[in-house]
């Protein structure tokens, strides 16, 4: 086998990224996603592109936040691994996959080849997630009316609520952050994400009982592509009443009232209570997401 050449793309060569097929339907599923040419790399053998990877970040980010495209020709697992291994940015991988991909032998083989490349490059599986895409055709559920929602201008209120919510979380990303840096770091990272979103700060809301006791928070938001359910969380002492359903319903109504023609959301597949709430509110699963990360001892 001849030597592999790894090279980055630029404005003049960006079209080369499209030289491989897209068996997972990523382009069709994410038509608004844009990649900077300088954050795209290809592996070339005998003058033919045999693997490609694209890193993604927001328009104001100076470095990418994740790898969100990784494709390879048959038998070129190590070429794809080398793209990841030699990159300047050792960030998480976010694979976007068709729902039920394990049930289709061809899709499963394509996905597992990408997983093998990630593992060869030193990555480990972190979590599998459901991605949802609500549209007005899904309908709006009736508000339960059990809680009082209000904007809250004090970040400290959200920080304290996030610490309490994360103290008993099922979210794999949050558990990883807590293990590495504690509850304060996990709460701050959520606040940083809310601020990263270009939607108004005034959209963030707290939920209380009619008696004034804090139940949780919800953050309707927009990322750089679409309206999103930014966060849903219930404090531990208020769990067991199904309040996450109330928060998700309110978040959906709020974004719909802002004119949203679709709302994107996701949750860990292992978070069965939240997945059940999404189903009850009427959010269909449109994709699956599988996240790989580099263990802390690998940088």
Tell me the mean pLDDT in the region 9-17. 94
Above 60 in pLDDT, residue 77?
yes
Rounded to the nearest angstrom, the gap between the alpha carbon of residue 297 and the centroid of all alpha carbons in its chain is 23
* 137-284 matches 5-122 in CATH topology: yes
Residues in the chain: 299
- The bridge status of strand 214-222 relative to strand 205-208 is antiparallel
- How high is the pLDDT of residue 2? 80
For 214-222, what is the mean pLDDT?
A: 98
Whether 164 and 236 have beta carbons less than 8 Å apart is answered as yes
Sequence ranges of the domains in the chain: 5-122, 137-284
Give the fold, CATH level 3, of 137-284: Aminopeptidase (3.40.630)
Predicted confidence (pLDDT) per residue in 111-140, tens digit: 999 999 999 999 999 999 999 999 999 999
b/e string for 32-57 if b means 16 or more Cβ within 10 A? eeebbbebbbbbbbeeebbbbbbbbb
Cβ distance 186 to 174 under 8 Å? yes
Please state whether beta strands 40-45 and 5-8 pair in parallel, antiparallel, or not at all (unpaired).
Answer: antiparallel
State residue 133's pLDDT score.
97
Angle, alpha carbons 116-119-120 (nearest 5°): 85
Q: Which residue has the tokens 């699956």?
A: 288
Residue 1: predicted pLDDT: 62
Query: Between helices 105-120 and 77-85, what is the axis angle to 10°?
Result: 40
Considering the chain, what is the average pLDDT of its residues? Answer: 96
Predicted confidence (pLDDT) per residue in 16-28, tens digit: 999 999 999 999 9
Q: Average of pLDDT values for 98-117?
A: 97
**Each residue of 255-268: pLDDT tens digit?**
999 999 999 999 99
CATH architecture of 5-122: 3-Layer(aba) Sandwich (3.40)
């Amino acid at each position: 086998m001849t030597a592999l050449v790894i090279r980055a793309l630029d404005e003049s060569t960006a079209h080369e990224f499209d030289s491989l097929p897209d068996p997972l339907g990523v382009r069709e599923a994410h038509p608004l996603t844009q990649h900077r040419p300088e954050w795209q790399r290809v592996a070339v053998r005998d003058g033919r592109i045999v693997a490609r990877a694209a890193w993604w970040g927001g328009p104001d980010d100076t470095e990418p936040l994740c790898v969100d495209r990784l494709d390879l020709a048959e038998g070129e697992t190590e070429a794809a691994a080398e793209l990841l291994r030699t990159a300047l940015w050792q960030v998480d991988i976010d694979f976007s996959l068709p729902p039920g991909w394990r049930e289709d032998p061809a899709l499963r083989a394509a996905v597992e080849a990408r997983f093998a490349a990630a593992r060869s490059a030193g990555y480990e599986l972190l979590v599998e997630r459901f991605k949802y895409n609500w549209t007005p055709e899904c309908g709006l559920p009736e508000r339960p009316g059990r809680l009082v929602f209000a904007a809250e201008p004090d970040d400290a209120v959200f920080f304290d609520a996030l610490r309490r919510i994360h103290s008993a979380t099922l979210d794999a990303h949050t558990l990883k952050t807590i293990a590495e840096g504690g509850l304060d770091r996990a709460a701050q990272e959520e606040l940083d994400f809310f601020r990263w979103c270009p939607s108004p700060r005034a959209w963030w809301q707290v939920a209380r009982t009619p008696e004034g006791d804090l139940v949780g928070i919800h953050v309707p938001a927009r990322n750089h592509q679409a309206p999103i359910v930014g966060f849903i969380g219930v404090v531990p002492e208020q769990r067991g009443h199904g309040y996450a359903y109330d928060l998700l319903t309110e978040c959906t109504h709020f974004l719909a009232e802002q004119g949203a023609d679709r709302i994107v959301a996701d949750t860990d597949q292992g978070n069965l209570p939240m997945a059940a709430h999404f189903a009850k509110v009427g959010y269909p699963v449109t994709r699956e997401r599988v996240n790989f990360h580099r263990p802390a001892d690998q940088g």
